[in-house]
Every structure is written in structure tokens, then in C-alpha cells.
A and B are shown apart, each in its own frame.
Chain A
Amino acid sequence: MVTPEDFNSDYQNQWCPGCGNFGILEAMKDALATQGIPPEEILILSGIGQAAKTPHFLNCNMFHSLHGRALPLALGAKLANHDLKIIVNSGDGDCYGEGGNHFMHAIRRNTDLTLLVHNNQVYGLTKGQASPTSGLGMTTSLQPDGVISEPFNGPAVALSLGAGFVARGFAGNKDHLSSLIQKAMDHKGLSLIDIMQPCVTFNKINTFEWYKKRAYEADNPDPEDFTQAMNLAMEWGDAIPIGIFYQTKKQDFTSRIKGLEKGPLIFRNYNPEKANAILEDS
């Protein structure tokens, strides 16, 4: 029996009181415990940012890496051992900004992992600059005249790239988010959950109340209906849907690689005779 408390970390939390990340952290513990995955069997990778600190506050195997680079690290780990259960904690800057190229190609590959994008529409770790998802006109100390670029829509981009699982969650709805995370982990292939997350310190526009007023639960009634999925992903205004927008079965990356059907690479054996045969053939 695995409990949410099993994931409690002795390491002192460093987020601001009231941070939306706490909701995500609790939903993750709940999801992992409900799934019966003990701390020693989960690997969490992250980039850099407040979201990327998440695995430090969980009892787990973890690799807190470079800004934007968690996805290629996760792929490398999967290539070595495709039995690994992997969650990636990323932020809007980490995933859609610095790691944008990796985001695109991880979706193309359909790497089997659960990607949680803590989307607070602002840079927290570097103190309040605009992020790729900040709304038009949002003013910050570094964007004093307001943001002049269109916000990046992670779920819509993921859909257009052919992602097999696309969802939006809300840090303020733990049970709903936990359920999304569980479904995402059950999904074979890359699953994206873009999570609306209030930043209590730097985002005075998209506050907890702002999100709470707008978020409404709306799974796509036919998860394979791409048009409806795109409609849900694009819906952003007075009402914002949360739920599974799209889900379809696709072969994941490592199961497409010939040779890996014999088992994870790290459990295979070195054979000097095979290497020598290659030399002899050359």
C-alpha cells in the first residue's frame, strides 16, 4: 500500500506560501499513491524554474537538470531503460521557451512520459518577467509597456504536432488534477497536462480567483475528435475548460526501435565476439 505521505520529502520546501505549485505537488502525491507506484520506482526529471524544483519536494528518484532540457534527458534515460516510469515537471518558460525545440520533438517522438507544465504565465525564479504564455499587454519590470507578442498555446501546439494525450488542469482542483495525472500515466506515449497555476508573487492578473472563476470541467466527449479537441484547447477567456482534450492510441518511441523488444538496453549483455565479428566484416 502506497500512501501520499510516502512521497513526503525531508527537504525543506522553498516556494512562496500560497504558491500554485503546492496544489500540483499534492495532486502528484495523490496520483502516485493511488497508482500504487512507490517512491523508489518513479523517476522525475525537471529543467530549471520554480516548477522544476518540484521533485526536490518529493521522495523519489530525480534529476533536476538544465533550463529547458528535461525532455532530451528523459528520452536518453528511456533509451537506456525503457521500463522507467517518468514524470517531467516543467514550467511555461522551461517547456515552451527555452525548451521549445525539445518540446516539439518529444511530441514527434512520442516519448513515453507524463509532462506536467506548471503554467503560471510568468517567470517566477527570475522574478516576474513575461513568459511565453503571458497575456498580451501584461506589464512587468522588463516589459514596462506590456507584452506585445501573442501567448503560446501549449495544448494547441501539442495537438497540431500529433500528441496522443493533451489535457489542461488547474492547480486549484487537486482531485481533478490527480485524476488527470493518473490517466496521463496510464497513457502509453507522451502525455501533456498544461496546468493553470497561480503565481502569488509575480502574476497579479492571473490570480487564483482569476483561474477559479474561469475553470470549468469539460472532457472531450469523444477524446479522438481532433476538431473538438482543438476547440477546447483554443478556448481561453471568460471560461477555460479543464480536462482531457484529446486522447488516442499511438505507438510510443522506444517500442518503435528495433532491438529494444529484447528488453531495456541496460539489462543486455556485452559480447566481445559480436563486436569482433563487426570488425571482421569491415
Chain B
Amino acid sequence: MDLNLKNNGILFFYLKAKRKKELFMTTHTNIDLTIKIGGSAGQGIQTIGTLLARACRDAGFYIMAINDFESRIRGGHSFFQMRISDKPVYAPHHRVDLLIALNRETWDLHKDQLKDDGFAILEVPLDSSSKHVVEVEFSTLAKEIGSTLYSNTVAAAAGLSILGASFDKIEALLSRQFAGKEEDIIEKNIKAARMGYDAVKDIRFSRQPFLKTSHPKGRIMEGSRAVALGAIASDCRVAAFYPMSPATSIMQHLTNWTNRLPLVVEQAEDEIAAVNMVIGASFAGARAMTATSGGGFCLMTEGLGLSAITETPIVIVDAQRPGPSTGLPTRTAQGDLLFTIHASQDDFPRFVFAPGNLLEAFETTQKAFALSEKYQVPAIILVDQYMVDSIFMLEQPFTFPKKVERFIIGDKDLKDPKNYNRYALTPSGVSPRALPCAGAARVVVSSDEHREDGHITEDIDNRNAMVNKRKSKLPDMIREMSAPQPLFPEAKTLLLGWGSTSGSIKESVEGLRNVGMDVGCLLFTDLWPFPTAIVQSLLKDPVKTIITVEQNSGAQFGHLLKEQTGISYTHAILKYDGRPFYPIEIMDAVKEKEKH
């Protein structure tokens, strides 16, 4: 059918489908759809992405969605890509079922990903196409509401309409999304949605997931929110930062909560100041953290060493992006593993963690705070742009601890507070930590090598004793490290991954097993100090093929594995283009490696 409604002044709209019946194929029993909506920066792609995600979550689907954007405020290309399914999904899919293009570029860039039975809603008329395409002038409609700014809402509603969502749902979601804004803005968005919704109401896409809805399966949130919630579950009281993508969103969440918690967030003059503010706050008794990306972490390495020699607990989140230097500011990478393990002057114990999903982000952040304070060492949490900016579904609840255990002493715990030694030598290497100006105990801290009382000395025996004291925490620290999460660990071929790639690796393991390959995986969260004994026992079978899967070009984890266990990896599957792994990429690479 071809419709042209431009004449009545509402819209120019026609459906280009060679054979009408193709559009009305039967509904698939298993829902696994990918919806991509794209446009230029400033068109509000992320905003409507959130709306789409909420709509699908409310309808009872499992979802996961990536936000892809360039490092610019206007122009450029950005898209939101969401996978919805009736079973849990932890990774993006490489083929698109529904493409919503707010500009020509989106169509040009992504049309090849559209499945043969996929469908596209486009702003711009095309010369010709073999795909199922409907053209809706989002911006013309939006202008009628008052501004092209509403194009995104028009487009999102058209997408939801075609998927079979009811308009009431969309209206309710819009009211919620724009709650707190002026009434006029909510009204206009609802009007815009109505126009988009009606523009395609006569078209029925073969996939109508909303015909089979159920109860919501969990919360949806970005990884950044899970990390920030983990921080408040750790009773973090001070956060200092210098803005840097993709870490800033973590600080944004914390800032939003400062009026409800004993929490202060301070934007520092640079990352050097940020990490030192965190050390100062921790020294004075508040749990404190900072978040940055690789470039900012470079500036923090001086402070990392200060935290180490003064044994002042701190938590640093490194939300990785590709480098070196500015690199690809809004994209994803796992290139800072060896850097964060080795950064700073000399060597000293530290923790490095890399959560792989929302629950791990929440729990690992708490573990980092607790262990950093328990052992008085810095703790680093490696996340990445993919993890912090993507929307995942949380099936398990987040539980806040009733009480947060602190590892601080006062005069009452000391026999002789007046002669308190901040760096008293102990069998565990951990010295009882008092706070400054909290009693008779005077706290003396120096970044120079120091005696037990904190004052400077270059004495040989003292130097050796102090290095050994700090180092002697390691055996206990290693015991705190969790084993990697195994999936078919007895398999002949084992994929090794760490951090945010866990979802794609898991799905590729399932996919490879479905085609008869004996593949499993080990997914690491606790990376440093390296849990050597655990890993050696998991990899003791010498006939195994070990494949390290990482988002860097140097197989950093593979090298770490060899260095720490003596076990070499057989192959490496590496991706460093700044985009997250699609499971198909891992599956294809494994098949290729296994052939040889």
C-alpha cells in the first residue's frame, strides 16, 4: 500500500513494501529483537533510548542496550541499540530487526545490519530499497508541535507503535521520564508521541513482541549507576573528580544524591587534586573515591603511590576508553589492566577488580572499599565505556548492608594513646589506624619512608622492615580474591575474559556449544593480587586450548596469566576498535582458531 497523507497537512508517509504479505509473517515463538535508533548528537538519542528501554522493561522483556556516540555535542552520529528478549540477554546483537533513522547517515551506516525480514522507519525518502521501509517525516511532525527537538519522541513512539505497544503505556512513560519538567514540555512530548504513533498505526511489523507481555523481570540501569550505588552501599562520604568521559556519569549519580546522604562531591581542578582530596578525606576518616579514565589515571599515579606509602585507603574507578592520550573519548576498551596493576613509583600491594555485570559492579565496589580500608591499600575498579554507558537488566535485588564495618581505632583501643605509632609493625602488616585530632593519639604520616611513629628515616633496617611490612599484607589479600566465574570449566577449549566482556563471552560459549563445540569459559572479576593458586588448579589440564578474549591489542590478561601462573594462552581474540564485542565475533574467531 502506498499512502500519502501530506495532502491533509499531517505527514508525508508511505510504505514501501514489495510484497505486503512479508510484513505480516507469523510471530516468532522466541523473542530476540534488536532495535536501533540513530541520528546526530543533539537529537536526543540517549533520551529516547531510555524511554524505549523502560517501555520494553515494563512489558516484561529482558533487555540490554548500548549507547554509541561521538565526542561532540552537536552533529556527528550517535545511536542507541537495544536488544529485547524473553530470556536474559547480556550482550548486544550484531543484526538489527528494527532500524529507526532520524537522518540519512543512520540509514547509510546501518542498513547492512538490517535483517532480511527487518524493518526500517526513516526520516528521509529513499531512492529504492529491497527492505521493508516506512518513511515518516519526524522533523516535519515535530515542527508542528513547535520544535524539531521533538523528533526523537515522534520516532520513538513510531517504533513502539510498530512493535505493538499501547499508546497509554507510552504516555505514562513520557510523563514519568519528564517528571519535574514544565507541564508544557510533557504535553508536547505526548503530542509528539501521538503523531509518531499514529503515523504508523496501520502498519504491522512481523515482529509484535508487545502482543505477548508479562511482568517486569527486574530493574534496568546503566553500569555507572550500579557502581555509584555500590559506593553509597560502602558509606562513601567524599567523592572528588575531574570530568572525563566515560567516568563522569558515576559522579553525576553521586552528585544527584548528595542532598539525601552524608556525601559531598567535589569537582577538582585536575585529577592530581582529585586523588589527593580523596586521600585527605580518607586520612581524616571518611570513605572516599574518585572516578576517571586512563588519561586521568595517569595523573593520579603519583597520588596512588602516596596512598600506598602512607597506607591511606582510597578507591579509584578507571572507566577505560581507548588511548593512548585522548584516544577515542566516548568508546570502550580494556587497555589499562597492566597499567593499573603496575602504575606508580616502586611496587606495593594494591587491589584491582573488574566487574562484569550490574550485580558485580555493585558488589565489587563494596568489596573494593572494604578491602582497601581493611588492608590500608589503594583499590582500583576497572570498568569501561561499554559497561558504564550501557543499560542492563538487574534480575537480582541490590541489598544494602545494615552496617558498614570500619577498620579504625581510637584512644580507647590503645594502651598508651600519647605514644601511638601509626605504622606499628604487626604480623599481618596492617597497623591500627587512628584518625587525626580524634583524641590524645597524634597521627604522624609521611610520604617519605618512615619509622613506626611516622617520622622520616633512611635507616637500612627500617626501610627493609617497612617495605616488608607493606608487602606482608599480600598473602591475606590474595585470600580475599574470588575465583573466576566458570562456565563449563571442564571443556577442551576455555575462553578467558575479565570485566565487561563477560556477557558476550558467555553467550558465545552457549552459541558454540549449540553447534557441538566443547567450549567453556572463566570470567575474572578479582584480578590483583592475582589468584595464582586458584587459576593454576582451574587450568591444570595441559591439553586445554586457552583463548584470552580482550578489548586491547596486546593480550594484557594473557601476559598476566603467563607471568603469574606460568601457563601460556594458546590464542588471543582481541578487539580494539572501541566498540563492544558482539558474541558472533567471538564465536567466529573461536571457530577460525580451532580450524588451525
When the two chains form the complex, which single residue of B279, B285, B303, B445 contacts A81, counting CB atoms closer than 8 Å? B285
Given contacts A62-B445, A65-B447, A72-B277, contact A102 B269 (CB under 8 A): yes
The answer for the CA separation of A59 and B320 in the assembled complex, in Å, is 44
Q: A40 near B281 (CB under 8 angstroms)?
A: no
B276: nearest residue on chain A (CB-CB)? A72
A274 to chain B: which residues have CB within 8 Å?
Answer: 260-261
Which residues from 262 to 295 on chain B have a C-beta closer than 8 Å to any C-beta of chain A?
Answer: 262-264, 266, 268-270, 272-274, 276-286, 288
Q: A272 near B229 (CB under 8 angstroms)?
A: no
Q: B237 near A80 (CB under 8 angstroms)?
A: yes
Segment touching A, from B434-442, B531-539, B558-566, B573-581: B434-442
**Shortest beta-carbon contacts, A-B, top 5:** A76-B280, A268-B262, A80-B286, A73-B280, A76-B277
Determine how close the nearest CB of chain A comes to the CB of B214; give it in whole angstroms: 22
Given contacts A61-B442, A76-B284, contact A278 B229 (CB under 8 A): yes
Which residues from 439 to 454 on chain B have a C-beta closer than 8 Å to any C-beta of chain A?
Answer: 439-448, 454
* A75 at interface, CB cutoff 8 A: yes
B266 to chain A: which residues have CB within 8 Å?
Answer: 75, 79
- B residues engaging A (CB < 8 A)? 219, 221, 225, 229, 232-233, 235, 237-238, 240, 257-264, 266, 268-270, 272-274, 276-286, 288, 302-303, 306, 310, 398, 400-404, 435-437, 439-448, 454-456
Q: A63 near B283 (CB under 8 angstroms)?
A: yes
The answer for the CA separation of A118 and B455 in the assembled complex, in Å, is 21
Q: B440 near A279 (CB under 8 angstroms)?
A: no
Which residues from 98 to 146 on chain A have a C-beta closer than 8 Å to any C-beta of chain B?
Answer: 101-102, 104-105
A268: nearest residue on chain B (CB-CB)? B262
Which residues from 45 to 61 on chain A have a C-beta closer than 8 Å to any C-beta of chain B?
Answer: 45, 48, 53, 56, 59-61
B284 to chain A: which residues have CB within 8 Å?
Answer: 43, 76-78, 80-81, 84, 266
The answer for the CA separation of A278 and B229 in the assembled complex, in Å, is 8
Segment touching B, from A167-175, A187-195, A220-228, A252-260: A252-260
The answer for the CA separation of A14 and B443 in the assembled complex, in Å, is 21
* A275 at interface, CB cutoff 8 A: yes
Given contacts A43-B437, A61-B443, contact A76 B276 (CB under 8 A): yes
Q: B269 near A105 (CB under 8 angstroms)?
A: yes
When the two chains form the complex, which single residue of B264, B283, B302, B404 contacts A260, counting CB atoms closer than 8 Å? B264
The answer for the CA separation of A72 and B284 in the assembled complex, in Å, is 13
* A69 at interface, CB cutoff 8 A: yes
Q: A65 near B437 (CB under 8 angstroms)?
A: no
Number of interface residues of A (CB under 8 A): 57
B219 to chain A: which residues have CB within 8 Å?
Answer: 282
A262: nearest residue on chain B (CB-CB)? B262
The answer for the CA separation of A26 and B401 in the assembled complex, in Å, is 50
Determine how close the nearest CB of chain B comes to the CB of A190; give it in whole angstroms: 14
Determine how close the nearest CB of chain B comes to the CB of A76; give it in whole angstroms: 3
Q: B260 near A80 (CB under 8 angstroms)?
A: no
Q: A275 near B283 (CB under 8 angstroms)?
A: no
B238 to chain A: which residues have CB within 8 Å?
Answer: 76, 79-80, 265
The answer for the CA separation of A258 and B440 in the assembled complex, in Å, is 31
Kindly count the residue-residue contacts between A and B in the assembled complex, taking CB atoms under 8 Å apart.
190
The answer for the CA separation of A74 and B278 in the assembled complex, in Å, is 10
Q: B437 near A61 (CB under 8 angstroms)?
A: yes
When the two chains form the complex, which single residue of B273, B404, B436, B446 contacts A56, counting CB atoms closer than 8 Å? B446
Given contacts A43-B436, A77-B281, contact A59 B264 (CB under 8 A): no
> Can you give 15 A-B contacts (C-beta < 8 A)?
A14-B456, A40-B439, A48-B447, A62-B442, A63-B446, A76-B288, A79-B286, A80-B288, A102-B269, A265-B238, A266-B284, A266-B285, A270-B403, A275-B261, A282-B221
The answer for the CA separation of A56 and B229 in the assembled complex, in Å, is 40
Determine how close the nearest CB of chain B comes to the CB of A25; give it in whole angstroms: 15
B235 to chain A: which residues have CB within 8 Å?
Answer: 270
When the two chains form the complex, which single residue of A14, A41, A74, A260 contacts B280, counting CB atoms closer than 8 Å? A74
Q: A11 near B280 (CB under 8 angstroms)?
A: no
Q: B437 near A40 (CB under 8 angstroms)?
A: yes
B262 to chain A: which residues have CB within 8 Å?
Answer: 259, 262, 265, 268-270
Determine how close the nearest CB of chain B comes to the CB of A227; give it in whole angstroms: 28
Q: A61 near B447 (CB under 8 angstroms)?
A: no
When the two chains form the complex, which single residue of B279, B288, B404, B445 contacts A64, counting CB atoms closer than 8 Å? B445
Determine how close the nearest CB of chain A comes to the CB of B550; give it in whole angstroms: 31
Q: B437 near A84 (CB under 8 angstroms)?
A: yes
* A19 at interface, CB cutoff 8 A: no
A39: nearest residue on chain B (CB-CB)? B442
B404: nearest residue on chain A (CB-CB)? A270
A45 to chain B: which residues have CB within 8 Å?
Answer: 280
Q: A75 near B302 (CB under 8 angstroms)?
A: no
The answer for the CA separation of A73 and B310 in the assembled complex, in Å, is 13
B261 to chain A: which residues have CB within 8 Å?
Answer: 271, 274-275, 278
B253: nearest residue on chain A (CB-CB)? A282
The answer for the CA separation of A274 and B259 in the assembled complex, in Å, is 11
Q: B437 near A42 (CB under 8 angstroms)?
A: yes
The answer for the CA separation of A187 and B286 in the assembled complex, in Å, is 26
